[in-house]
Structure 1
Amino acid sequence: MSTELGIRPGSPPDARRLRGRLRRTRRRHRAVSLGDVLTDAYVLVLFAGMYGWALVSEVRDYLGSPSGRQGDPGDRYWLGVAAALAVAGLAWRGLRAVGPLVVSPAAQSWVVSSPVDRRGWLLPRFVVLLVAAVAGGGLVGLAAAVATGAGGATDLASSAVAGAACGTLAVALAVVAQGSPRRAGWARFLDRGLFAAAAVVAAALVAGHLTGFSVPPPTASLAWVLGFAAAPPVVVAVLRACRALPSVDRASLVSGAQVADAAAGAALLLDPSFLTGLVESRRWRSIGVVSSRRFRPLGRFGALVQAELWRPVRHPSALVVWVALLLTLYAVAVALPTLAGPAQVVLGFLAVGRLTGGLRAVGRSAGLRRSLGGGDTVLNLAHLVVPAVSVVIWYAVSLPMVGAGVGVLDGVLVLGTVAAAYRAATRPPMKYGGVAVDTPVGMIPVDLIRQVVRGPDVVGALVVAQLLWP
């Protein structure tokens, strides 16, 4: 065995020979044929192409619509810039959460924990990531050029080059941060910088609209400038990532694999609690130590409300997201006046969802409810106070950009948003043995769909009511 793997006394195993032996072993036990793999790949490419082209077509129609129907063209352009910056921040945060280098559970136990050459073992994965980043970034840049109306071959090529450069830079920097997590404080602030830039652009858009000043979009494409400016950092980041491969420890590989497995389970089983539970537990563990406060003697209900009030204080990210979604609503109301009403309902539901952590914890843990006492009704009402107050504040603050006055519809929307947040937070664990209906398009799991849309179904009804209300 040692001779086959090229192991010499006092030297680590050869990663290439070990990988080849594992590949031959997998081939002997493989139960999936090449045709099945190609079929799955074809389905994924087909769906990605269909939905991607539909999204590009919608964005292109929106940006090219007349000024009187969808707002000023400059406002629409800068809203797209703010959205692109926010999406880039989310992509960077997801890339950092996953790894981006991950290994299988078997490799974590039997390979990564052994004295195998870490760089030789991780280098093929890093190369695959770079190839995927170049291809994916180029496609995203090409889609962005088509969506913005670029018709020339030069504009399309420049956008593809800029997208590929940005994707490669992001992956390489993420690997550098994964190799030195204690010294990569800049990685934690990069997504915050992207979110802050998106907020600044959106705030400038809203302020310019309120003051009667609109910034026109640039007349020339900046893709070539972005591509050439990103070339030197891309080379430096790739070289530093190669040098950082030996220092990627087992803990970071395991942590990223947990997030990837949770995301895959949430997508496969249609249960987002797999991923949200892991993210929430990590977020609370990152705080480490909190200062205790003495509650006022207001009974069980008052103590629970006070504890729920301290939750966003100890971790203010929910309040930050609440304010960011409010700014998003204002920007949408400026650049997309026809969608201001539906955006008020949908974004309000997302904003209050970040403040229902206590309600989710109580609703999904029978042991916690028994330890707190007081009955389920008292517990649910106590943890519903903060979300209900936040909904009232949301509609009061967003009313100037959506409606001219307070009416019956606003009361219906407030109560409906609170009900939607309550339904979504108190959803029981998923059950997969429910009723399915045989239709001409196949079997439709009605009970599974009902569980998935618990909460968003009320939001959809509110959007329809707002559109049809006289």
Structure 2
Amino acid sequence: MSAPPATIAATPAGVPTARQLRTHLRRARSRHHDHSLGEVLGDAYVIVLFTGMYGWFAISASRDLLDSPTVGQAEPGVRWWLALAALLAGAGLAWRGLRALGPLLVTPATQSWATSAPVDRRAWLAPRFVLLLAGAAVGTAVLGLAVAALGGASDPATLGWAAAAGAAWGAAALALSVVAQSSRAGRRWPAVAGAAPMVVAAVVTAVVVLLGHLGDGLPRPAVTPTVALFALALPLAGLGTIRAVRALPQVDRATLTTGAQFANAAATATILLDPSLLTGLVESRRWRRIGRVSSRRLLPGPAWWAFLQADVRRLRRHPSALLLWVTLIGVQYAAALALPGLAGAAQVVFAYLAANRLTGGLRSISRSPGLRRALGGSDALLRGIHVVVPAVGAGLWWLLTLPTVEPGPSWLAPTLALGVVAAAFRAGTRPPINYGGATVNTPFGMMPVDLVRQGSRGPALLAALVLVQLFLG
């Protein structure tokens, strides 16, 4: 007769618990760790101190800039509603970042030796989840405090409720992202949760821009609804935390390591000052998600005509580039309403971002000598063909945003538009980073000037164009 269910062991005999395994690993790391607890706490104190000082300085400087005549005065309601739209868009992007990161992740060694063993998955991941939940709550509380201070709030009660609302929403987002990480394929609510705030932000921006150009504007609410936001987020955070704890055993190894790849690529790109390490991983993931595409014949013609058609077809299979191109048009109109004195500089920057998103073919050609040899023709011809789409996109974007800036000299707008295309071309054709350049000893430490020069290829020209627009526009 088989034993009753209550007497069956939860784990095989001889398998350590998650706490025992964690204690063993902590002791093993301590034997190879030469930093004391006091040194770690001292480093943490320095980081918190500098973050607080420079963060408060940035908030004060931003408040002075918004009130200065340099940026121009705008209706308070316009800035309030556009700030709300920016927060909603940021929330949608943060959700996408959490989904790309995991947020629960493990290193490849942990995947091989811990998560592949018959160890209780919930007990193993619970401490990570608690730390992430606390970190998300603290980070978003500081963000809510900064937003309230930037909006002109000085009452301690208002600042406190803003921090509480930020902490509650941050904890809710983190907990729900863990639930989404453990969900089975086919569930669409994680995608809807990320797209909904961005859609609402687009609608709010469109309404504010339309009413602003009609001569009216949405009034600013008399009271900021921080208490209501906190009351709405608190039960959502509690429910999300309970569901996340229940869903921890269903977080599989694949999702744990996928986020680790993204985090390692981001850290490596930051340390080596080479964003292509991260963008390459993002592009490969995007093309793998497409999986299968419909094949169509190209129209007959010379080789350059076939290359141009292939570059255009790339955009059809990458609709997010066109979506961002359209979104930046609305952002430019919103910036012209909120910061009329900086509308010209914003037009230059956003035009570069719009054109840079259309340089996928140019980057592929420039970073692959083997592909250029296989296609044939000179390098100048191949790059010239693949700069047509970004040039046309930048020119059309510039024409659509001309009503947002005051007309300057007749030669300025064409010059800036051509300069934006040149900056996008220089950024798209940047060669691989060479780390053997010279460094200079400065009061702030060794500065790799040659590395900075290579990384600024494209953005340096963009900065020069912004200065030209500010002084001559």
| Bigger Cα displacement from structure 2, 135-144 vs 328-337 | 135-144
Q: Which residue of 2 aligns with 1:192?
A: 195
Asked if residue 88 in structure 1 is aligned to residue 91 in structure 2, the reply is yes
Per-residue Cα deviation, 1:234-278 (whole angstroms, up to 9, x for no partner): 111100000000000000001000001011111111111111110
Indicate which of 411, 414, 422 corresponds to 1:411: 414
Indicate which of 153, 166, 185 corresponds to 1:163: 166
Per-residue Cα deviation, 1:197-251 (whole angstroms, up to 9, x for no partner): 1111111111011111111111012000110111211111100000000000000
Alignment of 1:385-424 (within 5 A): 385-404=388-407, 407-424=410-427
**Paired residue secondary structure (2:175):** helix
Q: Which residue of 2 aligns with 1:177?
A: 180
Is 1:63–1:148's contact at 8 Å kept on the other side of the alignment?
A: no
Asked if residue 436 in structure 1 is aligned to residue 439 in structure 2, the reply is yes
Distance 1:389 1:381, change over 3 A: same
TM-score by length of 2: 0.94
What one-letter code is carried by the residue in structure 2 that aligns with 1:285?
R
Distance 1:448 1:31, change over 3 A: same
Is 1:7–1:14's contact at 8 Å kept on the other side of the alignment?
A: no
Is 2:394–2:420's contact at 8 Å kept on the other side of the alignment?
A: yes
Q: Which residue of 1 aligns with 2:126?
A: 123
What one-letter code is carried by the residue in structure 2 that aligns with 1:324?
T
Alignment of 1:289-368 (within 5 A): 289-368=292-371
Is 2:71–2:342's contact at 8 Å kept on the other side of the alignment?
A: no
Is 2:71–2:340's contact at 8 Å kept on the other side of the alignment?
A: no
Q: Which runs of 5+ in 2 are unaligned?
A: 1-8
Is 1:104–1:257's contact at 8 Å kept on the other side of the alignment?
A: yes
Q: Which residue of 2 aligns with 1:218?
A: 221
Asked if residue 147 in structure 1 is aligned to residue 165 in structure 2, the reply is no
Asked if residue 202 in structure 1 is aligned to residue 205 in structure 2, the reply is yes
Distance 1:193 1:28, change over 3 A: same
What one-letter code is carried by the residue in structure 2 that aligns with 1:221?
T
Shift of 1:412: 0.8
Is 2:67–2:73's contact at 8 Å kept on the other side of the alignment?
A: no
Shift of 1:9: 4.1
Distance 1:62 1:217, change over 3 A: farther
**Paired residue secondary structure (1:443):** strand
Per-residue Cα deviation, 1:76-104 (whole angstroms, up to 9, x for no partner): 11121111111111111111111110112
Is 1:63–1:73's contact at 8 Å kept on the other side of the alignment?
A: no
Indicate which of 79, 83, 86 corresponds to 2:82: 79
Is 1:346–1:459's contact at 8 Å kept on the other side of the alignment?
A: yes
Alignment of 1:90-109 (within 5 A): 90-109=93-112
| Bigger Cα displacement from structure 2, 6-15 vs 99-108 | 6-15
Q: What is the alpha-carbon distance in structure 2 between the residues aligned to residue 88 and residue 162 of structure 1?
A: 14
**Paired residue secondary structure (1:29):** coil
| Bigger Cα displacement from structure 2, 402-411 vs 18-27 | 402-411
Shift of 1:62: 4.9
Q: What is the alpha-carbon distance in structure 2 between the residues aligned to residue 8 and residue 452 of structure 1?
A: 52
Shift of 1:179: 0.8
| Bigger Cα displacement from structure 2, 8-17 vs 358-367 | 8-17
Distance 1:46 1:293, change over 3 A: farther
What one-letter code is carried by the residue in structure 1 that aligns with 2:426?
R
Q: Which runs of 5+ in 1 are unaligned?
A: 1-5
Q: What is the alpha-carbon distance in structure 1 between the residues aligned to residue 68 and residue 76 of structure 2?
A: 9
**Paired residue secondary structure (2:401):** helix
Is 1:399–1:405's contact at 8 Å kept on the other side of the alignment?
A: no
Indicate which of 12, 19, 26 corresponds to 1:16: 19
Shift of 1:466: 1.1
**Paired residue secondary structure (2:72):** helix
What one-letter code is carried by the residue in structure 2 that aligns with 1:402?
V
Q: What is the alpha-carbon distance in structure 2 between the residues aligned to residue 464 and residue 67 of structure 1?
A: 14
Distance 1:284 1:50, change over 3 A: farther
Is 2:103–2:177's contact at 8 Å kept on the other side of the alignment?
A: yes
Distance 1:194 1:401, change over 3 A: same
Is 1:13–1:117's contact at 8 Å kept on the other side of the alignment?
A: no
Q: Which residue of 1 aligns with 2:6?
A: none
Distance 1:359 1:8, change over 3 A: closer
Q: What is the alpha-carbon distance in structure 1 between the residues aligned to residue 397 and residue 57 of structure 2?
A: 32
Shift of 1:395: 1.0
**Paired residue secondary structure (1:69):** coil
Distance 1:380 1:47, change over 3 A: farther
What one-letter code is carried by the residue in structure 2 that aligns with 1:197?
V
Q: Which residue of 2 aligns with 1:3?
A: none
Asked if residue 257 in structure 1 is aligned to residue 267 in structure 2, the reply is no
Q: What is the alpha-carbon distance in structure 1 between the residues aligned to residue 218 and residue 11 of structure 2?
A: 67
Shift of 1:143: 1.5
**Paired residue secondary structure (1:135):** helix
Asked if residue 41 in structure 1 is aligned to residue 32 in structure 2, the reply is no
**Paired residue secondary structure (2:436):** coil
Is 2:70–2:341's contact at 8 Å kept on the other side of the alignment?
A: no
Per-residue Cα deviation, 1:402-431 (whole angstroms, up to 9, x for no partner): 133782111111111111001111111111
Shift of 1:465: 1.0
**Paired residue secondary structure (1:344):** helix
Q: Which residue of 1 aligns with 2:448?
A: 445
Asked if residue 272 in structure 1 is aligned to residue 250 in structure 2, the reply is no
